[in-house]
A and B are shown apart, each in its own frame.
Chain A
């Protein structure tokens, strides 16, 4: 007999910005039964975190609950006094934050922070709860569970810390745990371990959970039911399999459709054609520490090479070598068959013009004090010498090319634009130089799925129209599948595997590529289970990755 654990009705939350209260959440209903896992999904700004915290009766500074009720097992957390709420928090409802490194106190050991809540709520004595903690660490498959608790947070890796935080949330055996984007900041290969651990422990203790994320494939693995939020409103709610198979609302459908963007395959590269950019055995170092080892690959005209790898693999460093910001210690780079000077300061204006870069964070890529017209106009003026009305006309052309209304945007400042629009301006700025080769450094990584899809489509269109060649740096395999012609896989500064896209996504692979590909969650609720069964449960853990 399932009992209702959480009943939220008409929840309204307001946030204060610039002395004015604006609504963030506009009346949401939520039901959760004991032992059930609800996935809360939406893009950034949808209000998921705010709702998750409100389910605990908690609001951050600058937010307040302006209406509705949050009934947790008979207690209305909105009207309750601070003392009543404090009694609930940690004991019956627990929270797992996004960044474990920031949520652990750097001054205390892990086990001491673990035993704090049970001791405070008088559930267990300190020694007993320490032993219980070690048992939880064992269940969560942390290495050396009896001793890892005696370490300090900064001595433990990200994936392990996230599991330790899950253990800490479990310490009082709460009825409900709110997971707030727990794997978003982790590498794809680390994510698997944490997802598996969370799912297992929630099942073992029959804990209800609210799992907040923006990644559809992840929520499909973890949740029994999914609720979709958009800008503070509820869009749709259904059981996982039902929603994946047949989403009802348009917005939900559009979220699902993102991963299906594909381009028609291009003809194979003709043998003997000169690649537009060719890296010839490039090795580089920052001061004394080497970062790139013998990197060699080619990019041919009109094609996209995706350079994929996890953080620290050397993808961005390779880009810096190509642009000349980091002169290689060995090897050289050819452009259209001619060797480029290693240092950008020694290159001619024309050489600099041919290689352009688009950055990941649009906030730091555009000068906040320059108007859009100036940002795009400057390269136009610098390279082609146009001024006055001729320059303005060219800028308007470029704005039209990136699908922004020229009259509306040309005099605006970057702060007035959204993330996706700013990224388009970055593209226009690169186009203004009329280059042949563009490096896209994680250009969609910071964007929501729908917006990212728009950017990818635009880039594909521009490649077809203008014959541009791209080096597309990313860590997201779905993007690689969508946009690339050739793929280069990097790890720890070396090229691990490279080849045409079709070949790369089929076995046989280099073991690392295999690990990478298989770690990307699919939209199938059984994907995680199948993967774990396939790998054999014991293979999960840092040891597996370390062997590669």
Chain B
């Protein structure tokens, strides 16, 4: 129960300091509104935040190894902090770069970009580069089985590493670093292709339903409602079961089935959005004016409706990509998605997951599965930051 006592003591001390902080602030600045109107909760928040900061800094500077045994907690914490600071600095420099170099249009864009969005754009560009040029960057092939298996990451021969394989090899003997790079190509590439397909199908049907209305709209919308009534992952798993049997029968790669299935499931969400956006635009007077002129469907869609729909559609593309990407990663993690020998981050997490258990005494070993999972998370976070910024900009909310 001592930790409960500790907690009570800490909270009371924080409350006391918070009260003192506000009191001193009011007295010293002669009742400036900032201190005068500060609710107690806000003062408490400031002091608590400060304490957390002090605790984090002191933890950071603890020794890395005690009597030869590595303090894994400190090591991981340092990596996390260094990574965070590194990314922040990279994003800042990238935004600075974008603000000074480029056309007038891109420079204006970078000027208005918050740091999180800059970080997002940087990561997306990096991933795009890696996935396109994977073949040239990776030192070894993704399926190449080399002689040495289970080499520890870190490149330190004393710990079981090998400088030739900076991130080590897996239990079959494939180079993890190369597979991570090829994973970008496979996972990201497949996710992108699937999203494009979903967007194309869902978007056209959605717009069509918004413009034509009537029974077409009713039938499509009811069908979409039913398809959306089954949770996406569950439905995907169900259909993948069926697909895996067919795949053996017909000899078609299961990955193709997966792309089609996820595209179909995802197109329902795109349909909903495209239909809503289309309906909002279709009731505008300028559409009525064009209709009354006698304009045809093609002109209406491409010249009047689509140009006004780009902002929400673009944001939705980002969101859909994240969803598809995560679904594919999850399916692969469960073993039902992208099949070996293709390198894929989800599968890599599954294969390497037991190494986490060694983290306490050999932190380096645990990095492999965390890197693969982290690669997935990083891209999704980046895309979400960018989409968040786009939505904030276009809604113009005084948020």
Listed in ascending order, the chain A residues whose CB lies under 8 Å from chain B are 16, 61-62, 81-82, 323-325, 344, 347, 349, 352, 357, 359, 361, 364-370, 378-379, 382, 429, 433
Contacts and interface: CB of A to CB of B under 8 A. Distances in A.
A89 B79 CA distance: 55
Contact of B293 (A16, A359, A368, A379): A379
B289 A368 contact: no
B292 A323 contact: yes
A378 B345 CA distance: 52
Contacts of B31: 81
B292 A365 contact: no
Given A352-B294, A367-B304, A359 B37 contact: no
A205 to B, nearest CB: 33
Contacts of B294: 347, 349, 352, 382
Nearest to A414: B286
Contacts, number: 48
Query: Which of B286, B295, B308 is most buried by chain A, counting CB atoms within 10 A of its CB?
Result: B286
A361 B283 CA distance: 13
Given A61-B398, A81-B37, A82-B37, A365 B289 contact: yes
Interface in B19-36: 31, 36
Contacts of A81: 31, 36-37
A357 B304 CA distance: 18
A382 B296 CA distance: 11
B62 interface: no
Contact of A62 (B36, B292, B304, B398): B398
23 contacts: A16-B398, A81-B37, A324-B292, A344-B291, A344-B292, A347-B294, A352-B292, A352-B294, A357-B288, A357-B292, A359-B285, A359-B289, A364-B284, A364-B285, A364-B286, A365-B286, A367-B304, A369-B308, A370-B303, A370-B307, A382-B293, A382-B294, A429-B289
A361 B285 contact: yes
Contacts of A347: 294
A149 to B, nearest CB: 35
A368 B285 CA distance: 12
B308 A368 contact: yes
Given A62-B398, A81-B36, A82-B37, A367 B286 contact: yes
Contacts of A361: 285
A266 to B, nearest CB: 29
A357 B291 contact: no
Provide the main secondary structure of the chain B interface: helix
Interface of B: 31, 36-37, 284-286, 288-289, 291-295, 303-304, 307-308, 398
A357 to B, nearest CB: 7
Nearest to A375: B286
Contacts of B303: 370
Nearest to B305: A367
A324 B292 CA distance: 8
Contacts of B284: 364-365
A295 B241 CA distance: 65
A213 to B, nearest CB: 26
Contacts of A367: 286, 304, 307-308
Query: Which of A82, A325, A367 is most buried by chain B, counting CB atoms within 10 A of its CB?
Result: A367
Contacts of B295: 382
A352 B285 contact: no
Nearest to B308: A369
Given A357-B288, A357-B292, A382-B295, 19 more contacts: A61-B398, A62-B398, A81-B31, A81-B36, A323-B292, A325-B288, A347-B294, A349-B294, A352-B293, A357-B289, A359-B285, A361-B285, A364-B285, A364-B286, A365-B285, A365-B286, A367-B286, A370-B303, A382-B293
Contacts of A344: 291-292
Contacts of B292: 323-325, 344, 352, 357
Contacts of B398: 16, 61-62
Contacts of B304: 367
Contacts of B285: 359, 361, 364-365
A429 B288 CA distance: 13
A411 to B, nearest CB: 16
A66 to B, nearest CB: 14
A323 B292 CA distance: 8
A323 B294 CA distance: 12
A324 B304 CA distance: 21
Contacts of A433: 293
Nearest to B306: A369
A461 to B, nearest CB: 23
Contacts of B291: 344
Nearest to A441: B285
Nearest to A361: B285
Contacts of A359: 285, 289
A359 B285 CA distance: 7
Contacts of A429: 289
Nearest to A368: B308
A378 B292 CA distance: 13
A226 B295 CA distance: 52
Nearest to A16: B398
A62 B398 CA distance: 7
A255 B31 CA distance: 46
B307 A369 contact: yes
A169 B398 CA distance: 29
A69 to B, nearest CB: 16
Contacts of B308: 367-369
A379 B37 CA distance: 60
A333 to B, nearest CB: 14
A377 to B, nearest CB: 12
Contacts of A382: 293-295
A81 B31 CA distance: 10
A458 B308 CA distance: 31
Contacts of A378: 293
Contacts of A370: 303, 307
Query: Which of A323, A369, A433 is most buried by chain B, counting CB atoms within 10 A of its CB?
Result: A369
Nearest to B295: A382
Nearest to A382: B293
A376 B119 CA distance: 43
A185 B270 CA distance: 38
A485 B36 CA distance: 65
A515 B291 CA distance: 39
Contacts of A379: 293
A325 B292 CA distance: 8
Contacts of A369: 307-308
Query: Which of B291, B293, B308 is most buried by chain A, counting CB atoms within 10 A of its CB?
Result: B293
A368 B394 CA distance: 14
A323 B308 CA distance: 25
A366 B286 contact: yes
A14 B286 CA distance: 35
A344 B295 CA distance: 12
Query: Which of B37, B289, B304 is most buried by chain A, counting CB atoms within 10 A of its CB?
Result: B289
A82 B37 CA distance: 7
A323 B284 CA distance: 16
A370 B289 CA distance: 14
A468 to B, nearest CB: 17
A16 B398 CA distance: 9
Contacts of B36: 81
A347 B304 CA distance: 22
Please give me the 8 A-B residue pairs with the lowest Cβ-Cβ distance, nearest first. A369-B307, A365-B285, A359-B285, A367-B286, A364-B285, A364-B284, A352-B294, A62-B398
A152 to B, nearest CB: 29
Nearest to A324: B292
A429 B289 CA distance: 10
A62 B396 CA distance: 13
Contacts of B289: 357, 359, 365, 429
